[in-house]
Structure 1
Amino acid sequence: MASISTYTSYLTVNRDIKSSLSTVASQSSVAKDTAYYKEKIGDVKTVDEFLGDYRLYSYAMKAYGLEQMTYGKAFMRKVLESDLTDKTSFANSLTDKRYLQFAETFNFQGDKKTAQNTAQASDVTDAYKASFTNEQTAIKTEGTYFAAQIGKVTDIDSLLNNTRLRTYMLDAVGLDSTYTSKSYLKQVLTSDLDDPDSFANQAKNPAWKALTAAFNFNTDGTINGSIQTADQTEDLNLDYVYNKSTFPSDLLADANKRYWDKNVATATDAKDLVSDSRMVEYIKTAFDLNPTIMASSVASLMSSETFATTYGNTKLLDYFNFETDGSLASGNTAQTATQTADINKLYRTAFSKDQSTAIDEAVTNYETRVVGFTSLDDFLVSNKKDDDKKNDDVTEVWDVALRAFGIDPDEVSQSELKRILTSDLSDRKSYVNSLKDDRFVALNKAFNFTSDGQIKAPVLAQAESVSDKYAADYESYKVRSLTGSAKDAAVKKSDAEVQYYKSKMESVTDVKDLLSDTRVTNFILEANGIDPKSVVPADLKKMFESDLSDPKSYVNTLENDKFAQIVASFNFDAEGKLTADAVRGGQQRGEVLGTTNQYARQTLEEQQGDKNAGVRLALYFERMAPTISSPYGFLSDDALFQFFKTTFNLPKSIANMDVTKQADLVNSNIDISKLQDPEYVSKLLKRFTALYDVQNNASQSPTLSILTGGASISADTLLAVAQLKSGQ
């Protein structure tokens, strides 16, 4: 028997466990192996490469207490290639959960490659929808500004020197303000429209003539009276709304109605009315006419009963008062007030129908198609039409994306778009960064394309594999020791939290965003077995601000090394921004830290076991206790079962009992719900060490073989190895 008690030896090691682990980690062989692991694991991309580097592979196996299975590479391959989201997968089906823990720390398959994940797609479609409201607001704002300022203009120079007013009036008539000089505008606005040789009348584009008519300048630039009448200001605004609107908004509907009301009242014959394309468009919408029908045919539908009957649509005749030849009888108007009101109702109904479907169809088309993209080419050549070819005018996918970020499709060519989307944002000299335009940077971030146009996994705040592990650990934490309806309720509630957490991991872009959500931080802490009430938000902030590479940084000096692993499990750089550097090879940065910490702990326990196997078993239980959520946690782990038998002085023969009776025996002696309580665990350890010393008089305990020898390989493990060797 050792000269000092097992409990005293355990306390000596565990009283300052961080110092004990630091001592072990600084040992020459441990330090060298750890340095090699940290240096090389990031270069390993496949399971084959990992298993082929014995030094890496054996290090990881030892770290997770699987050293005795290092020889079973075929078996471990199946473990590492298991789909951990499938409860029936190989790793999940093994009784010994150390294999599952091992598999959870690696992700050689990588996160799912996708052109856009759910959060990215939602951001695009949300921004797309918002762009229409923003458009209406901008149009209203400019109209209000122009109406308020135009009356203050006293001469032509004060108008032309106001960039905002100048841009407005050019946009209103559909002219480009970018390339129009003030001198040219001055000649247009001072033209005499009664003179066929005047500057405006000689211009090829009739929009210049319309612009001249919108103002009241003399040929010398002076004004007699007002620069615009109220009607001129309104007419220009109606044109501005029409030319600046890109979708069927309420604002456009109202402007079109007002435009119709004003112009139909002055129409002298049917041909005169349809000479205005905007008026023809109004009629086509109101009566659901074929978009390709000629204006002359529309005029005939309004006036000729013979033509209307032949065409198969006599409805328009009831809404207009034209003679058969399209003229108006003396004293008649094109429409009565009632007819105008009636056609406005028809227009509004048809317009509203288009309005309600236009955006929804574009969004649905976008969401449906983007999930199937496998390369950038799919995005660039995405077809307007749905597969059933019923919606020929559905907005193209790339138009939706460009609009979402305020980019005019005419502003960028497809070749430029390709260079933007394949640029490396982390390279300051990349094409997208050289543009110095936040819109294009945002567009790049919204998609996941490699430099050669293939899809890749998005950089998330936390790798999917790590989030999956957090989810499993969180649920285990929330349902531990619960049964029946209480457990069912807890599972349902935890499932909702898991879904929320995973969705947030797709949208979080920096540490500040992460820590601002208490629901998320509580989830993180509970998934790691930590009571959120025990962690002050300010301290959590200091942890994430810590330099993980500095042993003296705040998070690295904390007694509980779980906090450093939590920080490392997120893909943030020193500035708290997302970085792809946290995920290299098949293991994320936090999992690398977890593995090296596990290796030091495993080595410490082994070295203590060489002196006193009871100390090793005590340290092992102290480490595993918070993870035990049911009596089967003891029954499925030989070392923990030995701890239980020793602690309660039970005979070896209980192993022959029915497993349910063994579970009842555990429950009758141990309160599983208290295994995360340090005081309760300490009481069990005191009892164990006292009885261990009584039961073990020899210097070498049979307990040691449980932790180091073949006895620790469970029956299902041995069976699986045998099947692999026999080719079954």
Structure 2
Amino acid sequence: MISTLLNYRLYTNDMAKTLERLSSQAQVERDKAYYDQNIGKVTSVDQFLGNYKLYSYAMKAYGLEDQINAKGIMKKVLQSDLTDSSSFANKLSDQRYRDFAAAFNFNSDTTPTAQSTSQTERLVEAYAERVDTSAPIAAKATSYYTQNIGSVSSIDGFVADRGLLDVALRASGFSDPSAISSDYAASVLKGDVSNGDAAWATLRTQFSAAPTAPATTRTWIAQTAQMASNTVYTYNNLTGNATSPQAKQANIDYLNAFFSASNTTQTVSAFTSDERLLTFAMTAMGSEITYAASAAASYLQNPSSIPSTVSDVEKARFQALHDALSVQSNGTMSPPATNGLDKLITGYGNNYKTAFNKSVNFDTTEFKAALVDIKSVTDLMATSSVDGKRRTLNFVLKAVGIDPATASLTKIRAVLTSDPTDPDSYVSRLKDDRYTQLAAAFNFDENGKLRPERLIQDVSDQTKIGQLYAATFGSNLSNDKKATIKADTKAYLAAVGSAVSLNDLLTDKKTIQYALTAFGVKNKDLSKDELKKILTSDLGDPKSYANTQTDKAIAKFAAAFNFEADGSVRNSETGGQSAKDRLATDKLYLLQKMEEQAGDTSEGTRLALYFLRKAPGLTSSYGILADKALYSVVRTALGLPEGMVNMNVDQQASMLDKKLNVKDFADEKKLDKFVARFAGMYDTQNADSSSSPILQLFGGSSGGSNILSYL
């Protein structure tokens, strides 16, 4: 009969081959195949407990085979809320029950939705910030226009400069200036082409004058500073940049120009008939009401004559504006620098974003309300029964930076039904971040129907990694360390929550380092290619790249993410168990089967293999005391008396703490030596010591604080 140590070595010297050999056994293959093919179809605890083949497979995997008949207890375990410390599973002292409950998700709501809460939050935030992101581009375009339009002297010179022409076209109402050639624009401006479009009429009126004789063409209208300013103002309004800092300053400059010494018509009538100035003034006063020029002129000239239909608040605003502009009885205005124009400018600075923000809030509320009824791509792309516009889709397109006026609906549908995590998908081949964001913002399958959200990492794994990362800082944390952990974790959660693809993760070194640190991976300088091979490994294959690494933390790191072999993100499953937990169950079943078969010839080998699997997860001596098999191995290895089990639990834990440090079990070499010691001591206790060659490898033992002192 071979020794326990030799038998143990036969199993562990090449664990990958051992597991591969075991997994190829016919019965093991059949059991695994049945489980993998059917567990995803189970949607309730009762269904699961009623299918003996599935239920017994899982129970064996988690070491609960002796409790298979206790279905009442197991039902309570599976229905437990593990976030509730008072739940049934959490009250049980045996960790195996909590592990079993955590492997299934019968209590979670897995009904697919068009967007998860986090997806909606990201899209709404993007919509609200679109001005901030587009403002620098708009500012560059309008700055160029302002600086150069005054030097243009002909229509040909104007259309030849696309920087000028594009701003003018957009301000005139064209949503996509790039679709209009310079030659065609010149022909319309000169009058060679008859075009009844309102946008062309606006452009012609502003930039070209009617011919002076029947045979001549229209001529260029030299652009004044005021004309250029109004073009920029309209451009900012139409492109959604009316509340940018640049637009704000341009409006202030426009107001100052009106009240400059060079303007001789500083009258109430001239002021209120200029829609831009009137809007500025009413915004400065905090009013959100739009007034006709004639009514505004009357109210501003004589606030006391405002009819009773106008609220007292609005009357007070007109009175304040009247005083600030120093309106005279003859209709002229001469506002003082102090408490005059500066009061308007300060008020405008405080209020100019209010109307825009209210509009954004309204759009956002409308979008969220519509989202509830979206069950397909067709629903998202539907027109509104109110105004015939695609209001919901337009909100989405604006949020990701796509112009609704020029977007192809066919292209949009193809993008929404494409997988942005698949390198070979339609949207990935577009190489356009806007469309990638669009596809990632919704959960539609290839047929345009709802599917579960694709996450590169499940929320439960994000929580687990956060806890592991915090644990690497030790205990008794200073406020600075707590702040560092909080900041790092916040950044990590934001990064993995918004990452769409494997490449997104691989290019984010800070996020990768956080995860590697959390799992205790020894080599944190892994190359991008190595990380890709790790994260795309088939963890169900003992010979896969991640599973064959000497650092076992690498496989745990890989298991925390949801990448397929081709780099795409694994589809979430709506059954009672996720794909990741199914793989974990398969692996545990295989290990349990190996330990069981080892026990057929050597109970000591079974205990050794069990300890090898469970010991690295121990955090205290109490974990040893809670597991009879682990406790048996430790007592045997350290030569502790059987009778100590009758001592007070705290006394037992204290005795173990004096003999070993459970943290040493996380070190593979120290763990292996401890198991080897157990194997030798086990054979000694179960055979004639004189015939045991293992005994000579060990000397006597005395007190110490770590495993090495007993090896």
User: Using the alignment, how far apart are the partners of 1:162 and 1:106 within structure 2?
Assistant: 64
- Whole-Å separation in 1 of the counterparts to 2:137 and 2:439: 26
Contact 1:626 1:676 in 2 (8 A): yes
- 8 Å CA contact 1:461, 1:570 repeated in 2: yes
Is the aligned partner of 1:156 residue 2:155? Answer: yes
Q: What SS does structure 1 have at the residue aligned with 2:22?
A: helix
Moved more, 677-686 or 266-275: 266-275
Change (3 A) 1:621 1:183: closer
Please report how far the alpha carbon of residue 518 of structure 1 lies from its aligned counterpart in structure 2 after TM superposition: 4.9
Q: Deviations over 1:67-100 (max 9, x none)?
A: 1111222222222222222233222222111122
Which of 21, 24, 38 is 1:23 aligned to?
21
Aligned 1:424-503 pairs, distance under 5 A: 424-426=417-419, 439=434, 442-448=437-443, 457-470=452-465, 485=476, 501-503=492-494
Give the drift of 1:43: 3.0
Distance 1:421 1:90 in 2: 48
Counterpart in the other structure of 1:705: none
Q: TM-score if structure 2 supplies the norm length? A: 0.76
Structure 2 unmatched ranges of 5 or more: 309-314, 382-390, 689-711
User: Which residue of structure 1 lines up, in the alignment, with residue 694 of structure 2?
Assistant: none
**Alignment match, 2:138:** 139
Question: How far is 1:632 from its partner?
Answer: 0.9
Partner in structure 2 of residue 663 of structure 1: 653
Compared CA separation, residues 147 and 550, structure 1 to 2 (3 A)? same
Aligned equivalents of 2:679 and 2:299: distance in 1? Answer: 102
> For residue 341 of structure 2, what is the amino acid of its counterpart?
N
2:35 and 2:167 mapped to 1: Cα distance? 65
Deviations along 1:344-363, one digit per CA (max 9) or x if unpaired, are 32332222222354566677
Once the two structures are TM-superposed, the CA of residue 146 in structure 1 deviates from its matched residue by 3.5
Give SS of 1:608's match.
Answer: helix
Distance 1:284 1:7, change over 3 A: closer
1:598 to 561, 585, 588: 588
Corresponding residue number in structure 2 for 1:12: 10
Change (3 A) 1:638 1:523: farther
1:278 maps to a residue whose letter is: R
Tell me the equivalent position of 1:123: 122
**Match status 1:692 vs 2:687:** no
Work out the CA distance in 2 between the residues paired with 1:79 and 1:470. 24
- Is the CA contact 1:155–1:222 (under 8 Å) kept in the aligned structure 2? no
Q: Are the structure 2 counterparts of residues 489 and 588 from structure 1 closer, same or farther at C-alpha, using a change threshold of 3 Å?
A: farther
CA 1:620–1:356: 2 relative to 1, 3 Å: same
Shift in Å at residue 635 of structure 1?
0.8
**Which amino acid letter does the alignment assign opposite residue 689 of structure 1?**
A
Q: Whole-Å Cα distance in 1 between the matches of residues 32 and 452 of structure 2?
A: 29
* Structure 1: runs of 5 or more not aligned: 192-198, 329-333, 382-395, 699-728
Distance in 1, Cα, partners of 2:87 & 2:225 = 76
Cα distance in 2, alignment partners of residues 500 and 239 from structure 1? 39
The AA in structure 2 aligned to 1:249 is S
Tell me the number of residue pairs that the alignment of Structure 1 and Structure 2 aligns.
Answer: 656
Amino acid at match of 1:375: V
Provide the C-alpha distance between the structure 2 equivalents of 1:76 and 1:676, rounded to a whole number of angstroms. 31
- Choose which of 490, 499, 504 in structure 2 pairs with 1:513: 504
Any residues of structure 2 matched to 1:378-393 within 5 Å, and which?
none
Out of 651, 670, 675, the position equivalent to 2:665 is 675
Write the letter of the residue equivalent to 1:424: T
Q: 2:619 maps to what in 1?
A: 629
State the match for 1:653 in structure 2: 643
> How far apart in 2 are the matches of 1:117 and 1:682?
46
Partner of 1:712: none
Give 1:344's aligned residue. Answer: 341
Q: 1:254 aligns with which of 249, 257, 263?
A: 249
- Measured after TM superposition, the shift of residue 659 of structure 1 is 0.8
Q: Are the counterparts in 2 of residues 215 and 228 from structure 1 also a CA contact under 8 Å? A: no
Change (3 A) 1:48 1:286: same
The amino acid that maps onto 2:418 is L
Shift in alpha-carbon separation, 1:248–1:234, aligned structure 2, 3 A: closer
1:353 aligns with 2:344: no
SS in 2 for 1:107: coil
CA separation of 1:174/1:494 partners in 2, compared to 1, >3 Å: closer, same or farther?
closer
Aligned to 1:576: 567
What is the distance in 1 between the residues matched to 2:304 and 2:359? 41
Amino acid at match of 2:440: K
What is the percent sequence identity of the aligned residues? 32
Answering whether residue 58 of structure 2 is matched by residue 60 of structure 1, we say yes
Conserved 8 A contact 1:214-1:233 = no
Counterpart of 1:542, as a letter, is K
Question: What is the deviation of 1:546?
Answer: 4.2
5 Å-filtered alignment, 1:164-243, equals 165-174=164-173, 189=189, 208=201, 211-212=204-205, 214-215=207-208, 219=212, 220-221=216-217, 227-228=222-223, 232-234=227-229, 236-241=231-236
Deviation at 1:35, TM superposition (A): 2.4
Alignment check: 8 A CA contact 1:625 1:675 kept = yes
1:83 to 81, 88, 110: 81
Q: Distance in 2 between matches of 1:296 and 1:682?
A: 92
CA distance in 2: counterparts of 1:316 and 1:169, whole angstroms: 33
Which is further off, 29-38 or 442-451?
A: 442-451
How far apart are the structure 2 equivalents of 1:300 and 1:600? 88
d(CA) in 1 for partners of 2:257, 2:414: 48
Distance 1:167 1:477, change over 3 A: closer
Distance 1:21 1:683 in 2: 22
| Residue 314 to residue 606, structure 1, CA distance change in 2 (3 Å) | closer
Answer yes or no: is the 8 Å Cα contact 1:569–1:591 preserved in 2: no
What is the match of residue 713 of structure 1?
none
1:140-159 CA distances to partner (integer Å, 9 max, x unpaired)? 33334445665675643454
Please give the per-residue CA displacement for 1:88-126, whole angstroms capped at 9, x wherever unaligned.
Answer: 322222211112222222223457777655653453355
Counterpart of 1:406 in structure 2 is 401
Kindly indicate whether the alpha-carbon contact (under 8 Å) linking 2:49 and 2:71 is maintained by their aligned counterparts in 1: yes
- C-alpha deviation, 1:586, in angstroms: 2.9
The offset of 1:431, in angstroms, is 12
Q: Aligned partners of 2:587 and 2:364: how far apart in 1?
A: 43
Counterparts of 1:39-54 in structure 2, within 5 Å, are: 39-54=37-52
Counterpart code for 2:349 = S
What CA distance in whole angstroms lies between the structure 1 residues aligned with 2:514 and 2:236? Answer: 49
Counterpart mapping for 1:288-307 below 5 A? 288=286, 291-304=289-302, 307=305
TM-score, length of structure 1 as denominator length:
0.75
Give the aligned partner of residue 37 of structure 1: 35
Q: Sort the Cα spacing of 1:634 and 1:434 in 2 relative to 1 into closer, same or farther, 3 A.
A: closer
Counterpart-to-counterpart distance in 2, 1:32 and 1:681: 34
